[in-house]
Structure 1
Amino acid sequence: MSTSGEESRTGTHPTFSRVMLKISGEALMGDRGYGLNPPTVERIAREVKVVHDMGVEICMVIGGGNIFRGLQGSAQGMERTTADYMGMLATVMNALAMQSALEGQGIHTRVISAIPMDQVCEPYIRRRAVRHLEKKRVVIFAAGTGNPYFTTDTAATLRANEMSCEAIFKGTKVDGVYDKDPAKFDDAVRYDNVTFDEVLQKRLAVMDASAIALARDNNLPIIVFSLDEPGGFKGILAGEGTYTRVHG
């Protein structure tokens, strides 16, 4: 389907032809402390459009932490399974918002939910989802894996493997993986490359351990980059920019 992703970091051709973009729900808040910030959603949609126009097939998973986070609800006394289902529903709301923004950019988009809700989005059927990608539609996977106790990081890794994606792009507020929090420590050092085992051993803040293990077992690289950097998503696919590559 494409290159190995190991080719030169220079040039104009995208290094991958099908990717998973994983972003947190908090990324949609902008400078708000809660909910959705429409200008921020539109900005991210424009970033996706630029990459889509390069011919890259894109699927997405968006977290729900800007609306409700299951673990936090559980910590406050709510039964964990119920809290996680509420978090899954929050991801559907975010997915619909992103679908609206992408369609406003003229991109055909499908929201596919692990929890059936036929009036608002499609149920997850793997072959149908693959066909949407082949038709150059952006596919947004919502409701996590459909099971409690699994994060949207794990859902993104699962769907990326099922869709035969060549990499997961993890959009964050910083330009890669650091040995410690760069917002708190001036001497934090960014990794250009780090292995899955190092991420697990050093407990680096990339994805949860289940997602990292699933990516490692299927040799699926994770590219961690700044979603706040204009043109960052496109630049990395063109072999440029600053990021950390997590690999086997």
Structure 2
Amino acid sequence: MIVHFIGAGPGAPDLLTLRAQRLIAASPVCLYAGALVPPEVLEHAPEGARIVDTQHLELDGIVEEFTRAQTNGEDVARLHSGDLSIYSALGEQTRRLDALGIDWDMTPGVPAFAAASAALRRELTLPGVAQSVILTRYRRQASAMPGGEELSALAAHGTTLVLHLGVQAMEELVDVLVPHYGADCPAAVVARASWPDELILRGTLATIAAQVAESGVRRTAAILVGPALSGRDFAESFLYSKGRDRPA
């Protein structure tokens, strides 16, 4: 018996990987993250599979589902939205599984920030403009940020910044970011990236908070800030330059 932790992607069911689809189809138990995983993904589960919505379960309840599957000798497809590498609460689950001696593995998925980049039709790194992407979140009703990861410290780098879980605090975020990026820095919010009701807001740090307030977006949104979002005034990459030595 094994628990397959699977990144189910940002929302569009056809952004599920082939490996993820295969594992879901082979697992008689499927645990999924509530409204963040579309029903079309659950349709890959085998007939008669036990499908459990975990959005109202605490960690102990989720672990009980794992141990029940272990007792029955059933593989589990544990679906998380986006990718497992960030903000998936994976670590606390796998720590429990290790303590119980239950085997598990990980299958990556398309992360929300990548879906937001695609929706904006913007590369987040541009030569001479930004060569780093900082993925972080804003603390309001979430776990405390570790020392040294305060937003102001991260913003001081001036590179592309992607914020999760912060759209309800846009005015606060703008106040922190403007001293580092400037009020005219490009900013965007992509809500429910890749879903049928995807919403894209484009502006600057001076305008984006008002746009968010007017739109009514409250959750499931990525905030992107940085000069690379303009898509202008950058050098061509060395990768395809004429001056680069190429193998014969």
TM-score by length of 2: 0.32
Q: Which has the larger radius of gyration?
A: 2
TM-score by length of 1: 0.32
